[in-house]
């Protein structure tokens, strides 16, 4: 299969393929999604096959506006209107209880709930509107690997397996959306993202708990990205605490391990002999934006034996960064032997 790269003036061609049941990857402000018409179960099933993704993993349904959700949702949480007004379009996915039979079990993972998001990307909103149906859109990569933040990342993973990719350059945020469960009484974060716990609490005026339960391989997650290990390159990743860089590099030298650094400029400038992926700035925003690109770049160069990654405090956007990094590293920090 030829995988075509579509530009802005070709959105109608991409939409036509989606209506025909083909798969087309699309850009969002977070990562690139692997798009299929959410109303065509056979197409959605192809998403799992192409990604190598477990079929019990629910998918996020991408909509062009809030009214598009009404065909599917059984009931809305009382705070829904306030949340949508403040955070849509944007990197916030909302989980609702849905009407029986409104979406195929292949979309919901067999659950009585479904996840919905209105992405903040004009090209993709036009694509959904032109298609005339919502689109499922898990990250457009091989399952378990770092999510794609450019069209070329998608092409690298899925060339010849999907019909097309709608290109919109690099994504602005770099990690997947926050997932907020609104199917129960208390809004609960199932996956942290760029819409932070603090932002939600400020708008809603209530405490918003974070579900830190890590789902085992045998369990069905309520939302994507809840597995213990995820976003993982083939190269082992170790998280490095601020005071451990010298110790970690000494250990690697003694073990004859070639190291790749994934770090901010203030850290990387001290270790110029290692292969490096340096974030644009010394900020959590730059680190989050570059996390998946850096993991991919160091892994795909096939020059290093281990990736040492910088950590950040686990608050605000740092919670989303560390959530992804911990899973990429299978929860492993460097520990002096």
Instruction: Give me the pLDDT at residue 220, please.
Output: 64
Confidence of residue 227 (pLDDT cuts 50, 70, 90): low
Structural domain boundaries enclosing 78:
4-204
CATH of the domain at 295: 3.40.50.11030
What is the rounded distance in angstroms from the CA atom of residue 56 to the CA atom of residue 175? 22
Which of 68-72, 117-121, 221-225 has the lowest average pLDDT? 221-225
Note whether residue 210 is domain-resident: no
What is the rounded distance in angstroms from the CA atom of residue 141 to the CA atom of residue 147? 6
Cα-Cα end-to-end distance for the chain = 49
Q: pTM above the 0.85 mark?
A: yes
Let me know whether 100 and 179 are in one domain.
yes
Let me know whether 249 and 190 are in one domain.
no
117 annotated ligand-binding residue: yes
Place of tokens 């950040």: 312
Of the residues 180, 204, 228, the one at which a domain ends: 204
Let me know whether 310 and 192 are in one domain.
no
Who wins on pLDDT, 124 or 273? 124
Q: Which of 207, 205, 239 is nearest to 318 (CA)?
A: 239
8 annotated ligand-binding residue: no
76 annotated ligand-binding residue: no
CATH of the domain at 17: 3.90.870.10
pLDDT at residue 216 tops 80: no
* Exposure string over 10-45, b if 16+ CB within 10 A, otherwise e: ebebbbebbeeebbbbbbbbbbbbbbbbbbbbebbe
Confidence of residue 230 (pLDDT cuts 50, 70, 90): confident
Let me know whether 187 and 283 are in one domain.
no
H helices of the chain, in order, are 11-19, 41-51, 80-87, 105-108, 122-131, 151-158, 197-204, 245-254, 265-268, 284-300, 317-328
Instruction: Give me the pLDDT at residue 229, please.
Output: 60
177 annotated ligand-binding residue: yes
Note whether residue 322 is domain-resident: yes
Q: What percent of the chain has pLDDT over 70?
A: 95
What is the rounded distance in angstroms from the CA atom of residue 230 to the CA atom of residue 221? 13
Let me know whether 244 and 306 are in one domain.
yes
Which CA distances in Å does 223 have to 235, 246, 315?
26, 38, 21
- Fill in the DSSP letter of residue 337: -
Let me know whether 59 and 189 are in one domain.
yes
Note whether residue 219 is domain-resident: no
Instruction: Give me the pLDDT at residue 145, please.
Output: 87
Let me know whether 86 and 140 are in one domain.
yes
Q: Please say whether the beta carbons of 182 and 168 come within 8 A.
A: no
Q: Please say whether the beta carbons of 35 and 24 come within 8 A.
A: yes
- Fill in the DSSP letter of residue 102: S
- Fill in the DSSP letter of residue 243: G
Let me know whether 281 and 322 are in one domain.
yes
Instruction: Give me the pLDDT at residue 53, please.
Output: 76
The total of structural domains in the chain comes to 2
What is the rounded distance in angstroms from the CA atom of residue 139 to the CA atom of residue 240? 27
Note whether residue 310 is domain-resident: yes
What is the rounded distance in angstroms from the CA atom of residue 284 to the CA atom of residue 175? 12
Note whether residue 52 is domain-resident: yes
Which of 32-41, 223-232, 285-294 has the lowest average pLDDT? 223-232
Note whether residue 263 is domain-resident: yes
289 annotated ligand-binding residue: no
Place of tokens 């520990």: 335
Note whether residue 183 is domain-resident: yes
What is the rounded distance in angstroms from the CA atom of residue 156 to the CA atom of residue 274? 25
Who wins on pLDDT, 337 or 44? 44
Note whether residue 133 is domain-resident: yes
Confidence of residue 302 (pLDDT cuts 50, 70, 90): confident
pLDDT at residue 20 tops 80: yes
């Amino acid at each position: 299969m030829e995988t075509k790269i579509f530009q802005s003036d070709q959105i109608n061609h991409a939409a036509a393929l989606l209506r025909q049941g083909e798969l087309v990857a699309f850009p969002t402000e977070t990562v690139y999604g692997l798009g299929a018409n959410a109303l065509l179960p056979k197409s959605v099933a192809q998403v799992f096959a192409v990604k190598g993704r477990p079929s019990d993993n629910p998918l996020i349904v991408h909509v062009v506006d809030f009214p598009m959700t009404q065909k599917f949702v059984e009931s809305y949480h009382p705070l829904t209107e306030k949340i949508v007004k403040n955070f849509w379009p944007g990197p916030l996915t909302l989980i609702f209880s849905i009407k029986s039979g409104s979406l195929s079990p292949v979309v919901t993972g067999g659950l009585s709930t479904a996840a919905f998001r209105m992405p903040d990307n004009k090209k993709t909103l036009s694509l959904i509107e032109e298609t005339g149906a919502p689109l499922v859109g898990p990250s457009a990569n091989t399952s378990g690997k770092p999510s794609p933040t450019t069209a070329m990342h998608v092409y690298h993973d899925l060339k010849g397996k999907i019909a097309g990719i709608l290109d919109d350059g690099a994504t602005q945020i770099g990690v997947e959306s926050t997932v907020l469960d609104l199917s129960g009484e208390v809004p609960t974060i199932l996956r942290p993202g760029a819409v932070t716990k603090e932002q939600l609490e400020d708008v809603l005026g209530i405490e918003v708990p974070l579900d830190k339960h890590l789902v085992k391989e045998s369990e069905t997650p309520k939302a994507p990205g809840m597995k213990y290990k995820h976003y993982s390159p083939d190269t082992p990743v170790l998280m490095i605490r601020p005071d451990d860089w010298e110790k970690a590099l000494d250990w690697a030298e003694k073990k004859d391990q070639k190291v790749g650094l994934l770090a901010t400029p203030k850290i990387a400038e001290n270790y110029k002999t290692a292969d490096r992926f340096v974030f644009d700035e010394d900020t959590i925003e730059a680190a989050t934006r570059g996390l998946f690109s850096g993991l991919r770049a160091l892994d795909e160069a096939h020059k290093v034996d281990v990736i040492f990654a910088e950590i950040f405090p686990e608050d605000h956007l740092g919670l989303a960064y560390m959530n992804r990094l911990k899973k990429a590293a299978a929860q492993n920090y460097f520990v002096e032997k």
